[in-house]
Structure 1
Amino acid sequence: MPKPPHVCSCGRVVPHGERCACQIARTRARNKRHDQRRPMAAQRGYNHTWRKARLEFLKYFPVCARCGSPATVVDHIIPHKGDDRLFWDKSNWQALCKPCHDRQKQREERAHV
Protein backbone atom coordinates (compact mmCIF):
# COMPACT_ATOMS: atom_id res chain seq x y z
CA MET A 1 0.00 0.00 0.00
CA PRO A 2 1.45 3.41 -0.94
CA LYS A 3 2.34 5.82 1.83
CA PRO A 4 0.10 8.87 2.21
CA PRO A 5 1.13 12.35 1.12
CA HIS A 6 2.13 14.96 3.67
CA VAL A 7 1.22 18.60 4.12
CA CYS A 8 4.08 21.09 3.78
CA SER A 9 4.40 24.01 6.18
CA CYS A 10 3.20 26.24 3.31
CA GLY A 11 -0.05 24.27 3.15
CA ARG A 12 0.54 22.33 -0.07
CA VAL A 13 -0.08 18.58 -0.20
CA VAL A 14 3.12 16.82 -1.29
CA PRO A 15 3.42 13.15 -2.36
CA HIS A 16 5.32 10.88 0.01
CA GLY A 17 9.09 11.00 -0.51
CA GLU A 18 9.02 14.29 -2.43
CA ARG A 19 9.86 17.82 -1.37
CA CYS A 20 7.62 20.82 -1.85
CA ALA A 21 8.66 23.51 -4.34
CA CYS A 22 9.00 26.00 -1.45
CA GLN A 23 11.42 23.66 0.36
CA ILE A 24 13.52 23.28 -2.78
CA ALA A 25 13.58 27.07 -3.27
CA ARG A 26 14.63 27.64 0.37
CA THR A 27 17.43 25.09 0.06
CA ARG A 28 18.70 26.67 -3.16
CA ALA A 29 18.65 30.15 -1.61
CA ARG A 30 20.51 28.93 1.50
CA ASN A 31 23.13 27.15 -0.62
CA LYS A 32 23.59 30.25 -2.78
CA ARG A 33 24.18 32.42 0.32
CA HIS A 34 26.69 29.87 1.63
CA ASP A 35 28.54 29.66 -1.69
CA GLN A 36 28.84 33.45 -1.93
CA ARG A 37 30.70 33.57 1.40
CA ARG A 38 32.89 30.55 0.66
CA PRO A 39 36.34 30.98 -0.95
CA MET A 40 36.81 29.56 -4.44
CA ALA A 41 38.07 25.97 -4.70
CA ALA A 42 41.54 27.07 -5.82
CA GLN A 43 41.75 29.42 -2.84
CA ARG A 44 40.98 26.45 -0.57
CA GLY A 45 43.88 24.45 -2.08
CA TYR A 46 42.03 22.43 -4.72
CA ASN A 47 44.23 23.47 -7.64
CA HIS A 48 46.12 21.70 -10.42
CA THR A 49 48.58 20.14 -7.96
CA TRP A 50 45.69 18.72 -5.93
CA ARG A 51 43.97 17.36 -9.04
CA LYS A 52 47.15 15.49 -10.05
CA ALA A 53 47.62 14.08 -6.52
CA ARG A 54 43.94 13.12 -6.38
CA LEU A 55 44.13 11.16 -9.65
CA GLU A 56 47.28 9.37 -8.48
CA PHE A 57 45.63 8.45 -5.17
CA LEU A 58 42.53 7.11 -6.94
CA LYS A 59 44.76 4.90 -9.12
CA TYR A 60 46.00 3.14 -5.97
CA PHE A 61 42.66 3.23 -4.13
CA PRO A 62 39.97 2.83 -6.81
CA VAL A 63 37.24 1.56 -4.45
CA CYS A 64 35.08 3.50 -1.99
CA ALA A 65 36.26 2.94 1.60
CA ARG A 66 32.64 2.83 2.80
CA CYS A 67 30.57 0.87 0.28
CA GLY A 68 32.97 -0.72 -2.21
CA SER A 69 31.69 1.18 -5.27
CA PRO A 70 34.14 2.80 -7.68
CA ALA A 71 35.73 5.80 -5.91
CA THR A 72 35.64 9.22 -7.54
CA VAL A 73 36.39 11.54 -4.58
CA VAL A 74 39.44 11.87 -2.34
CA ASP A 75 38.15 12.91 1.06
CA HIS A 76 40.04 14.35 4.00
CA ILE A 77 39.19 12.10 6.96
CA ILE A 78 39.89 14.92 9.41
CA PRO A 79 38.70 18.20 7.82
CA HIS A 80 41.79 20.30 7.10
CA LYS A 81 40.04 23.70 7.51
CA GLY A 82 42.89 25.46 5.69
CA ASP A 83 45.77 23.64 7.42
CA ASP A 84 48.21 22.82 4.57
CA ARG A 85 50.00 20.16 6.60
CA LEU A 86 46.74 18.28 7.20
CA PHE A 87 45.57 18.99 3.63
CA TRP A 88 48.59 17.22 2.08
CA ASP A 89 48.91 14.42 4.67
CA LYS A 90 48.05 11.33 2.59
CA SER A 91 47.33 9.31 5.72
CA ASN A 92 44.39 11.71 6.17
CA TRP A 93 42.95 10.86 2.73
CA GLN A 94 40.36 8.24 1.87
CA ALA A 95 38.78 7.26 -1.43
CA LEU A 96 35.00 7.59 -1.52
CA CYS A 97 32.28 7.38 -4.13
CA LYS A 98 30.35 10.61 -4.66
CA PRO A 99 27.15 9.41 -2.91
CA CYS A 100 29.05 8.36 0.24
CA HIS A 101 30.97 11.64 0.27
CA ASP A 102 27.97 13.86 -0.40
CA ARG A 103 25.52 12.13 1.94
CA GLN A 104 27.18 10.21 4.76
CA LYS A 105 30.44 12.10 5.22
CA GLN A 106 28.90 15.56 4.98
CA ARG A 107 26.16 14.57 7.44
CA GLU A 108 28.83 13.39 9.90
CA GLU A 109 30.80 16.62 9.55
CA ARG A 110 27.71 18.78 10.11
CA ALA A 111 26.92 16.78 13.26
CA HIS A 112 30.38 17.60 14.70
CA VAL A 113 30.18 21.38 14.13
Structure 2
Amino acid sequence: MPRPPHICACGRLVPHGERCTCQKDADRARKRRHDAKRPSARERGYTTDWEKERAAFLEAHPCCAICGAVATVVDHITPHKGNKALFWDRYNWQALCKPCHDRVKQREERQAPAINVP
Protein backbone atom coordinates (compact mmCIF):
# COMPACT_ATOMS: atom_id res chain seq x y z
CA MET A 1 0.00 0.00 0.00
CA PRO A 2 1.51 3.36 -1.01
CA ARG A 3 2.36 5.78 1.74
CA PRO A 4 0.59 9.14 1.81
CA PRO A 5 2.24 12.35 0.61
CA HIS A 6 3.57 14.88 3.10
CA ILE A 7 3.31 18.64 3.33
CA CYS A 8 6.56 20.55 2.93
CA ALA A 9 7.40 23.51 5.17
CA CYS A 10 6.64 25.73 2.17
CA GLY A 11 3.08 24.34 2.06
CA ARG A 12 3.36 22.15 -1.05
CA LEU A 13 2.07 18.58 -1.10
CA VAL A 14 4.98 16.24 -1.87
CA PRO A 15 4.69 12.53 -2.78
CA HIS A 16 6.17 10.09 -0.26
CA GLY A 17 9.88 9.48 -0.82
CA GLU A 18 10.38 12.64 -2.85
CA ARG A 19 11.73 16.06 -1.94
CA CYS A 20 10.05 19.37 -2.61
CA THR A 21 11.52 21.64 -5.25
CA CYS A 22 12.16 24.27 -2.57
CA GLN A 23 14.35 21.75 -0.69
CA LYS A 24 16.23 20.84 -3.87
CA ASP A 25 16.76 24.53 -4.67
CA ALA A 26 18.00 25.21 -1.11
CA ASP A 27 20.48 22.30 -1.41
CA ARG A 28 21.78 23.59 -4.74
CA ALA A 29 22.26 27.07 -3.28
CA ARG A 30 24.06 25.67 -0.22
CA LYS A 31 26.39 23.61 -2.42
CA ARG A 32 27.12 26.64 -4.63
CA ARG A 33 28.06 28.69 -1.54
CA HIS A 34 30.32 25.87 -0.32
CA ASP A 35 32.01 25.46 -3.71
CA ALA A 36 32.58 29.21 -4.03
CA LYS A 37 34.68 29.14 -0.83
CA ARG A 38 36.47 25.88 -1.62
CA PRO A 39 40.01 26.06 -3.07
CA SER A 40 40.57 24.52 -6.50
CA ALA A 41 41.87 20.97 -6.81
CA ARG A 42 45.34 22.31 -7.67
CA GLU A 43 45.28 24.56 -4.60
CA ARG A 44 44.33 21.51 -2.47
CA GLY A 45 47.45 19.64 -3.66
CA TYR A 46 46.16 17.61 -6.61
CA THR A 47 48.99 18.64 -8.95
CA THR A 48 50.91 16.91 -11.74
CA ASP A 49 53.08 15.27 -9.05
CA TRP A 50 49.93 13.85 -7.48
CA GLU A 51 48.73 12.54 -10.86
CA LYS A 52 52.04 10.66 -11.33
CA GLU A 53 51.94 9.17 -7.81
CA ARG A 54 48.27 8.31 -8.20
CA ALA A 55 48.94 6.42 -11.46
CA ALA A 56 51.83 4.49 -9.88
CA PHE A 57 49.72 3.62 -6.82
CA LEU A 58 46.82 2.38 -8.96
CA GLU A 59 49.22 0.28 -11.02
CA ALA A 60 50.51 -1.35 -7.83
CA HIS A 61 47.00 -1.63 -6.31
CA PRO A 62 44.58 -2.29 -9.20
CA CYS A 63 41.64 -3.57 -7.11
CA CYS A 64 39.17 -1.68 -4.95
CA ALA A 65 39.90 -2.13 -1.24
CA ILE A 66 36.16 -2.40 -0.49
CA CYS A 67 34.59 -4.49 -3.26
CA GLY A 68 37.49 -5.82 -5.36
CA ALA A 69 36.44 -4.14 -8.61
CA VAL A 70 38.91 -2.25 -10.82
CA ALA A 71 40.18 0.73 -8.81
CA THR A 72 40.15 4.18 -10.40
CA VAL A 73 40.46 6.46 -7.36
CA VAL A 74 43.23 6.87 -4.79
CA ASP A 75 41.49 7.79 -1.57
CA HIS A 76 42.97 9.26 1.59
CA ILE A 77 41.86 6.93 4.40
CA THR A 78 42.10 9.75 6.93
CA PRO A 79 41.03 13.01 5.26
CA HIS A 80 44.10 15.22 4.99
CA LYS A 81 42.23 18.55 5.31
CA GLY A 82 45.21 20.40 3.82
CA ASN A 83 47.89 18.64 5.89
CA LYS A 84 50.67 17.99 3.31
CA ALA A 85 52.36 15.27 5.40
CA LEU A 86 49.07 13.34 5.65
CA PHE A 87 48.33 14.07 1.97
CA TRP A 88 51.58 12.42 0.80
CA ASP A 89 51.62 9.57 3.37
CA ARG A 90 51.22 6.45 1.21
CA TYR A 91 50.08 4.46 4.26
CA ASN A 92 47.07 6.79 4.27
CA TRP A 93 46.12 5.88 0.67
CA GLN A 94 43.76 3.20 -0.54
CA ALA A 95 42.64 2.23 -4.03
CA LEU A 96 38.87 2.41 -4.57
CA CYS A 97 36.49 2.09 -7.49
CA LYS A 98 34.45 5.22 -8.21
CA PRO A 99 31.12 3.81 -6.87
CA CYS A 100 32.69 2.80 -3.54
CA HIS A 101 34.46 6.15 -3.23
CA ASP A 102 31.30 8.10 -4.01
CA ARG A 103 28.93 5.99 -1.92
CA VAL A 104 30.63 4.08 0.87
CA LYS A 105 33.58 6.34 1.67
CA GLN A 106 31.64 9.59 1.47
CA ARG A 107 28.95 8.16 3.76
CA GLU A 108 31.66 7.19 6.27
CA GLU A 109 33.14 10.70 6.17
CA ARG A 110 29.74 12.36 6.69
CA GLN A 111 29.08 10.17 9.75
CA ALA A 112 32.56 10.50 11.25
CA PRO A 113 33.18 13.22 13.83
CA ALA A 114 35.10 16.23 12.56
CA ILE A 115 38.88 15.96 12.99
CA ASN A 116 40.99 19.10 13.19
CA VAL A 117 44.36 18.39 11.61
CA PRO A 118 46.93 21.20 11.84
State whether TM-score is above 0.5. Answer: yes
Shift in CA distance, 92/7, structure 1 to aligned 2, threshold 3 Å:
same
| Rounded Cα–Cα distance in structure 2 between residues aligned with 1:72 and 1:5 | 40
Unaligned runs of 5+ in 1: none
2: distance between equivalents of 1:70 and 1:8? Answer: 42
Letter in 2 for 1:65: A
TM-score when normalising by structure 1: 0.83
- The percent identity for this pair of structures is 65
**Paired residue type of 1:91:** Y
2:47 pairs with 1:47? yes
Task: Give 4+ residue runs of structure 1 displaced > 6 Å after superposition.
Answer: none
- CA-based RMSD of the aligned residues comes to 1.9
Counting matched residue pairs gives 113
Shift of 1:32: 0.8
Matched, 1:22 2:22: yes
Tell me: CA distance 1:12–1:38, structure 2 relative to 1, closer, same or farther (3 Å).
same
User: TM-score, with normalisation over the residues of structure 2?
Assistant: 0.80
Q: Give unmatched runs, 5+ long, in structure 2.
A: none
